[in-house]
Chains A and B, each alone.
Chain A
Amino acid sequence: AQSVTQPDIHITVSEGASLELRCNYSYGATPYLFWYVQSPGQGLQLLLKYFSGDTLVQGIKGFEAEFKRSQSSFNLRKPSVHWSDAAEYFCAVGAGGGNKLTFGTGTQLKVEL
């Protein structure tokens, strides 16, 4: 069965600083990988996804992620964080019928002004 690990529960960065959120996955085949963002009281919004091809994928809001098969990782990055990026971020792997998602426990991002 697939699993996702997000080792950082909380991260605090200063506005304008760079950001990297870590994600490690376990899955037997080529994974479909996703990053979602969840703001308080809001549903999950898809930031980006990886399925094949170029291992560096671009998403919305200036986010990107790099798939590294050798490290079983799919880390999310942003060069310059904005205060509005404060939210909870979830990494997920899709598998099985209909592409059901297995999520990590999330990383809460706080942005200091």
Chain B
Amino acid sequence: GAGVSQSPRYKVAKRGQDVALRCDPISGHVSLFWYQQALGQGPEFLTYFQNEAQLDKSGLPSDRFFAERPEGSVSTLKIQRTQQEDSAVYLCASSLAGQGGPYNEQFFGPGTRLTVL
């Protein structure tokens, strides 16, 4: 079946522009995660949804970052007034169950590479 898809794959923005990054999780997956991966670094957690509820947004770096998942499937990560330090790969992952635990494997999308000029 289809995996996690993300669009666009590449995005170039001028500093100060707003951007929206889309994630289509695997159908039926309850949990959805966003991670930010800066160049040469490991992914860092941004936020987590269980269905449409955003249960953890502790990793969002500033109030310019906003994520939503209004119908419990597709999610959008929005960054307002982009800055150069926002340049990174944004990864989306989904998992079948709502609870944690080792059986709840996260499946990752290919990511969106954001470059802010």
Using CB atoms and an 8 Å cutoff, list the residues of chain A in contact with chain B. 4, 32, 36, 41-46, 49-52, 90, 92, 94-106
Q: Are A44 and B50 in contact (CB under 8 A)?
A: no
Contact of B100 among A36, A41, A98 (CB under 8 A): A98
Q: Are A43 and B91 in contact (CB under 8 A)?
A: yes
28 A-B pairs in the complex with CB atoms less than 8 angstroms apart: A4-B42, A32-B100, A32-B101, A36-B108, A41-B110, A42-B110, A43-B3, A43-B4, A43-B111, A44-B91, A45-B108, A49-B102, A49-B105, A50-B102, A94-B102, A95-B100, A96-B100, A97-B48, A97-B55, A97-B56, A100-B48, A101-B106, A102-B45, A103-B43, A103-B44, A104-B42, A106-B40, A106-B41
Q: Which residue of A lies closest to B47 (CB)?
A: A100
Q: Which residue of A lies closest to B41 (CB)?
A: A105
User: Within 8 Å CB of A103, what residues of B?
Assistant: 42-44
User: Within 8 Å CB of B93, what residues of A?
Assistant: 44
Interface size on B, residues (CB 8 A): 30
User: Within 8 Å CB of B91, what residues of A?
Assistant: 43-44
Cα of A69 to Cα of B84 in the assembled complex, Å: 41
B98 contacts the other chain (CB 8 A): yes
Using CB atoms and an 8 Å cutoff, list the residues of chain B in contact with chain A. 3-4, 31, 33, 35, 40-45, 48, 50, 55-56, 91, 93, 95, 98-102, 104-106, 108-111
User: Within 8 Å CB of A50, what residues of B?
Assistant: 102
